[in-house]
């Protein structure tokens, strides 16, 4: 009986929402276009945590990059993504800034360089109390 209920719940979660399901106002018109196997243009211009225009190319040097596309003010999933990156990096002998770079990119046009700085500082401290923002 319990297995059947769990199985029914799993199938219900996998079913697509009905077309008449109302989305929150903030999600209307939101979507994405998948471009699998397409390279990310390294000359795309972004603003860094100081507000300066930068390109992705500026972060690609002789070290690997771990990109994270998030909302800095996201209260749920994006925070889990960044926390997961930190948890995954802690046990490694490799260190951000020395062996690789973590580049978090906000996908919200409403977020500011101050939001980026606050997130960078928060997750740098979460990674290690002695870690600075480098990397």
Cα separation of the two ends of the chain: 52
65-70/101-106 β-pairing: parallel
CA proximity to 109, closest of 65, 75, 72: 72
DSSP structural state of residue 34: -
Enumerate domains of the chain plus CATH numbers.
38-130 (3.40.30.10)
Better-scored residue on pLDDT, 133 or 26:
26
pLDDT band at 113 (very low <50, low <70, confident <90, very high): very high
- The answer to whether 72 and 106 have CB atoms below 8 angstroms apart is yes
What confidence tens digit (pLDDT) does each residue in 68-92 have? 888 888 877 777 888 888 888 888 8
| Residues whose CB falls within 8 Å of the CB of residue 116, separated by 6 or more in sequence, listed in order | 48, 49, 72, 104, 106
pTM for this entry: 0.63
Beta bridge partners of 69: 105
């Amino acid at each position: 009986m319990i297995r059947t209920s769990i199985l029914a719940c799993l199938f219900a979660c996998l079913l697509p929402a009905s077309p008449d399901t109302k989305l929150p106002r903030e999600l209307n018109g939101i979507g994405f276009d998948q471009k699998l196997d397409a390279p990310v243009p390294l000359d795309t211009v972004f603003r860094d945590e100081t507000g300066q225009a930068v390109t992705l190319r500026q972060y690609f040097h002789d070290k690997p990059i771990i990109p994270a596309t998030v909302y800095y003010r996201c209260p749920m999933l994006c925070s889990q993504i960044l926390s997961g990156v930190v948890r995954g990096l802690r046990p490694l002998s490799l260190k951000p800034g020395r062996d690789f770079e973590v580049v978090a990119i906000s996908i919200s046009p409403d977020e500011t360089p101050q939001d980026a700085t606050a997130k960078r500082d928060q997750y740098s401290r979460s990674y290690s109390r002695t870690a600075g923002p480098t990397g």
